[in-house]
Structure 1
Amino acid sequence: DGGPRERIAYLPQLAEIDRSFPISVLDAVTLGLWREVGLFRAITGDHVKRARAALASVGLDGFETKQVGALSAGQLQRALFARLMLQDAGLILLDEPFAAVDERTSADLMALVAAWHAEGRTVIAVLHDLDRVRESFPQTLLMAREPVAWGPTDDVLTPENLRRARYISDSWSDAA
């Protein structure tokens, strides 16, 4: 078992989350402690305190007993970010983390991503919002069925590279 900086945390797209599963927000967030707690150890008062603090830090103080299925898309995304916080990973993978959430939620969660980056964590995010990429991510890998360009964001998101990506994407055949 490596230290926290060797761990990987993953946030899937909202569409991959089963919102009908009957679980409270607090229980969903404490799932971020899986590596620490395991299958047979109980969640302690300290764990609950940490989970409540993570929820408060993403603006969900007081949501602990709500069912995950009752949350809006933005609230669910905030809860999932709180779960990521408890994982204490050095590498954080985000798959379309701002899809289907309002701009305020996106901005709040982006501030958390910036804080992780400032702590020396690596955040890899799949995004289609090029303006957000330009604003918030210093390095970019432009993909269009294959790597198009990699490096400093301003050097990657050029009109030429974006045209090339569009051409690759448009000319792709699922039958190929």
Structure 2
Amino acid sequence: MGADRLGRGPAVTKGTIRLDDAGVVLNGTPVWRHVTGSFAPGSMTAIAGANGAGKSTLLRAILGEVPLASGTITRAGLSQRDFGYLPQARAIDRAFPISVTDMVLSGAWRQTGAFGGADRQVRLRAASALRRVNLDGQAERMIDALSAGQFQRLMFARLLMSDARIIMLDEPFTALDAPTTQDLLELVREWHAQGRTIIAVLHDIHQIRTCFPHVVLLSAGRAMWGETTRILTPDTLHAAYAPTQAGGAAWS
């Protein structure tokens, strides 16, 4: 298993996330390998690729949830508390009996602790976060009563409470209507303008081209990494998306 260095390399700028010759193997099958590249502090990067390319696995490897089979990941000067993570909607149990307000408050664990109570200031921040995502009228509802779009707005409000330096989003706009997508994308732009690092798994190539200056394109177990205009060419997109998924790895 490759080493997982926590930012001790002097040549890496504080706040940088760097992969050096990194590879992941799940259930004996290589997902991707020889991946090298950096997420600079304050950058905004999309992760693209066909189903099964290992996009979500890349996010989870950065978070330390998936071990490397080779290479290293350096998180220069960063701790786990600096990361805010939004998993795919299908990975979240919406049947759990919790109200909208309590779900938002759970995003403030950095301030309250895992079992701490929320004081008036934290509750005011939660109310402000709900207003920011247009859910201020839903505060007392249970989360299982929300529509898909309302629930995703709620998860963005929860991320607002975390005040994380690194925002990691896994398919944040999938199955959302256009108004909800635009509202949440505007919030992502605000985070970027504040100097936060944004890393998002996305499927919409037009959205990536118009909103994300940098991209990691996963294809055939490798990564093409750089400026979006340079990486997303007709040839690279054909190579990444044209092959069939038959017999491929079942990782997204």
**What is the TM-score when the length of structure 2 is the normalising length?**
0.64
2:149 — aligned with what?
A: 74
Q: Show structure 1 runs of 4+ deviating over 6 A.
A: none
Match of 2:186 among 100, 108, 111: 111
Amino acid at match of 1:30: L
Q: Which has the higher helix share?
A: 1
Check the 8 A contact 1:145/1:168 in 2, yes or no: no
* Cα offset, 1:168, TM superposition: 5.7
Amino acid at match of 1:7: D
Match of 2:132 among 51, 54, 57: 57
Amino acid at match of 1:131: H
Q: Which has the higher strand share?
A: 2
Check the 8 A contact 1:148/1:161 in 2, yes or no: no
Q: Deviations over 1:69-89 (max 9, x none)?
A: 000000000000000001001
1:4-23 map, 5 Å: 7-23=82-98
2:208 — aligned with what?
A: 133
Q: Deviations over 1:103-134 (max 9, x none)?
A: 10000000000011111101100011111111
Check the 8 A contact 1:149/1:156 in 2, yes or no: yes
Equivalent-residue separation in structure 2 for 1:159 and 1:79 (angstroms): 36
* Cα offset, 1:157, TM superposition: 0.7
Match of 2:237 among 156, 162, 165: 162
Q: Deviations over 1:126-151 (max 9, x none)?
A: 01111111111000011135234211
* Cα offset, 1:170, TM superposition: 4.2
Amino acid at match of 2:175: A
1:142 — aligned with what?
A: 217
**What is the TM-score when the length of structure 1 is the normalising length?**
0.91
Tell which has more relative contact order, 1 or 2 (C-alpha 8 A, sep 6+).
2
Equivalent-residue separation in structure 2 for 1:171 and 1:18 (angstroms): 30
1:84-103 map, 5 Å: 84-103=159-178
* Greater CA drift, 140-149 or 162-171: 162-171
Over the aligned positions, Cα root-mean-square deviation in angstroms equals 2.2
Gaps of 5+ in 2: 1-76
Asked if 1:31 corresponds to 2:106, the answer is yes
Instruction: Give % identity.
Output: 46
Report how many residues are paired: 174
Equivalent-residue separation in structure 2 for 1:170 and 1:23 (angstroms): 38
Equivalent-residue separation in structure 2 for 1:167 and 1:108 (angstroms): 32
